[in-house]
Amino acid sequence: AQSVTQLDSHVSVSEGTPVLLRCNYSSSYSPSLFWYVQHPNKGLQLLLKYTSAATLVKGINGFEAEFKKSETSFHLTKPSAHMSDAAEYFCVVSEGEYGNKLVFGAGTILRVKS
Amino acid sequence: ETGVTQSPTHLIKTRGQQVTLRCSSQSGHNTVSWYQQALGQGPQFIFQYYREEENGRGNFPPRFSGLQFPNYSSELNVNALELDDSALYLCASSRPQGALLSTDTQYFGPGTRLTVL
């Protein structure tokens, strides 16, 4: 079965500094990987997805992630944090054997300090 | 293009009661998935419907059941509510783009917050 481990439950950065949210995955075959963001009292919004094309994936709002098979990692980065980036971020792997079941990590809460 | 909508927004029930949550999928999407998000946790997969048939189920008991209608909207029913059923219930819709369903993007609704007292 697929699984995802988000290595940090909380990350705090200053506005204008880089963001790194770490994610490791476990998959028995070539996975599809996603990052979703959830703002307080809002639904989940897709930031980006990897589906075995380019290993460096660019998403919305300046976020990007790199798929590293040798390290089984899919870390999310952004060069410069903005106050509006404060939210909870979920790394997600898709189990596609019998459909499209998403397996979520526990989430990383990003705090951005002014 | 209308996104995924869910109703109601909030719901309060007592233990032992039954509840029905509703979801309208995004235009053109024929697949609906339901997830349960307990406080402080990531969402957990409940089940998925594709063209009105159940197409995968997570580790939830049979008192969690669902339906998908010809217009691809969906219901989640929970019988004999327990305190631990208190959570945010999320619906997501998608449309198969190719042979691999795992590559499809799921678009989420805002959720229904269920409180069981």
Model confidence pLDDT, tens digit, residues B58-100: 999 999 999 999 989 999 999 999 999 999 999 999 887 665 5
Residue A14 pairs in a beta bridge with A113
pLDDT digits (tens, 9 = 90+) for A86-104: 999 999 998 765 557 899 9
CA dihedral B26, B115, A89, A60 (to 10 degrees): 30
| Residue B56: pLDDT band with limits 50, 70, 90 | confident
Cα–Cα nearest to B52, from B23, B26, B34, B73: B73
Q: What angle do CA B8, B13, B16 make, to 5 degrees?
A: 130
- Helix, strand, coil content of chain A in percent (nearest 5): 5, 55, 40
pLDDT > 70: what percent of chain B? Answer: 92
Do the chains contact at A105 and B103, CB–CB below 8 Å? no
What pLDDT is attached to residue A100? Answer: 73
**B8: preceding bond cis by omega (within 30 degrees):** yes
What's the CA gap between B78 and B70, in Å, rounded? 21
What pLDDT is attached to residue A2? Answer: 81
Helix (H) or strand (E) holding A5: strand A3-6
Section B10-33 average pLDDT: 94
CA dihedral A10, A32, B90, B18 (to 10 degrees): -120
Tell me which amino acid residue A8 is: D
| Residue B51: pLDDT band with limits 50, 70, 90 | confident
Question: Which of A27, A93, A98, A102 should one mutate to test binding to chain B, selecting the residue with the greatest count of B CBs within 10 A?
Answer: A102
pLDDT > 90: what percent of chain B? Answer: 73
CA distance A54 to chain B (A): 14
Considering only the beta carbons, identify the residue of A32, A36, A107 that sits closest to B102.
A32
What pLDDT is attached to residue A30? Answer: 74
Section B92-111 average pLDDT: 79
What pLDDT is attached to residue B102? Answer: 59
Give pLDDT < 70 ranges for chain A.
96-99
